[in-house]
Every structure is written in C-alpha cells, then in structure tokens.
Amino acid sequence: MAKQALILYYSQFNTTAKVASQIHQLTGADILRIRVADKTFPNDMTATDKIYRKQRASGQLPNLTTKLPDLSYYDVLLVGGPVWDGQISSPIMKLLVQLQGYQGLVAPFSTGWSDTGNYQQDFIAHAGKLTIGPGYHVLTHVNPHFSPVTLASWLRKL
Ligand SMILES: Cc1cc2nc3c(=O)[nH]c(=O)nc-3n(C[C@H](O)[C@H](O)[C@H](O)COP(=O)(O)O)c2cc1C
C-alpha cells in the first residue's frame, strides 16, 4: 500500500485499538482514535446494546469528540470499529456521516467475537457517496485469528 493512509478507529474495549495499532506498525500510516463523550456507553456489552438499538431505531447517533484532520491529504482511510449486532457501531455510523465529501478510498476493518455478520454490507449501506474498498474482519474467539499475513494481504489489495 504505497499511498498516504490514515487509520481512523473507534474502540470501546480496546480490541479494535490493538488491530489498529498493528496496522499502524505495519504501514507507518497516521492513526487517530475516534472517541465519544464519556458516559455515552456503559462499560457493559448488554447495556451498550440497549443504547445502540435505540440509537439505530431513532437515528440519534452519538456525537464524536474527536476533531478530524484535513482528509484531502490522504489517499486511503482505514476505518476500524467493533461488530455490534452483526453491524457497524453507532460511532462508526456517525463517522461515515462526517466523512461525506471525502474523495479517496475508504476501507473498513472490524473486530468481533465470533460473527462478523453483515458488517461489510452495513458499512456500505451507510457510506453514502464514499468509495468503499475490501474489508478486513477479525474474530477473536474463533479461528482464524488475527495474523500479520492476512493483514498484509488485505493491505496489498488497497
Ligand atoms: C453492543 C455489542 C454488540 C456486539 N455484537 C457482536 C456480534 O454481533 N458479533 C460478534 O462477533 N461480536 C459482537 N460483540 C463483541 C464485539 O464485537 C467484540 O468484543 C469487539 O472486538 C470489541 O471491540 P472493541 O474492544 O474495539 O470495542 C458485540 C459487542 C457489543 C458491545
């Protein structure tokens, strides 16, 4: 991937953060963690899920507290987040709204426990006018686990 890339990621429990950091080490790409205001989500999966379902149903997405840099500098955005109910998390939904107008390639990556579900399709469904590339989806509780080889092969496609 001989392009200017920016890794943008949301991570509630730091799993996606670890993959983002490995991508950063492998590529040397810039990296920025997307955050929401404190107390937006509880420290618990079931309670987070309740809030998430309400947000999706109402369209009231959480505010992002991270300011995005000038994105026109980058050819590729690598956008990472957790799988929530087989879909993209609400912070990533909000990020995709804020990325509208970006002209480069956007490639998703995700982490989930055991089922990626419809993550890639849901990402595309919320991408509006963005150009979406192939995704890299890692599961932590079933094989195959994350490996630098599969990561490198994804990055070569971009
Ligand atoms: C609300 C919610 C829904 C989830 N739904 C799924 C799911 O559908 N499939 C799955 O494999 N993992 C699911 N998980 C587990 C997370 O995707 C997994 O722990 C992820 O690696 C967390 O990443 P993070 O630490 O970067 O937030 C869910 C977690 C939460 C909080």
Q: Which domains does the chain have, with CATH numbers?
A: 5-157 (3.40.50.360)
Site to probe by mutation for ligand 1, drawn from 85, 113, 115, 118 as the one with most ligand atoms within 8 Å of Cβ, is 113
Strands 76-84 and 87-88: antiparallel
Q: Check pocket membership of 87 for ligand 1, CB cut-off 6 A.
A: no
- Say what the pLDDT of residue 142 is: 87
Q: Check pocket membership of 10 for ligand 1, CB cut-off 6 A.
A: no
CA distance 28 to 127: 26
- pLDDT band at residue 1 under the 50/70/90 scheme: low
Residue 138 phi, psi (nearest 5): -110, 135
Q: What percent of the chain has a predicted confidence (pLDDT) above 70? A: 98
15 or 146: which carries more pLDDT confidence? 15
Atom of ligand 1 nearest to the CA of 16: 26
pLDDT, averaged across the chain? 95
- For residue 136 the two structure tokens come to 């890299």
Ligand 1 centroid, distance to 44 Cα (angstroms): 11
18-33 average pLDDT score: 96
Q: Check pocket membership of 53 for ligand 1, CB cut-off 6 A.
A: no
Report pLDDT digits (tens) over 93-122.
999 999 999 999 999 999 999 999 999 999
- Say what the pLDDT of residue 2 is: 62
Cβ atoms 154, 134 nearer than 8 A: yes
- For residue 113 the two structure tokens come to 């426990």
Ligand 1 centroid, distance to 112 Cα (angstroms): 5
Cβ atoms 53, 27 nearer than 8 A: no
Cβ atoms 47, 77 nearer than 8 A: no
Alpha carbon separation from 86 to 70, 96, 109, 114 (Å, rounded): 31, 17, 13, 10
Q: Check pocket membership of 30 for ligand 1, CB cut-off 6 A.
A: no
CA distance 44 to 140: 18
pTM of whole model > 0.95?
A: yes
- Say what the pLDDT of residue 147 is: 87
- Say what the pLDDT of residue 121 is: 98
Ligand 1 centroid, distance to 144 Cα (angstroms): 17
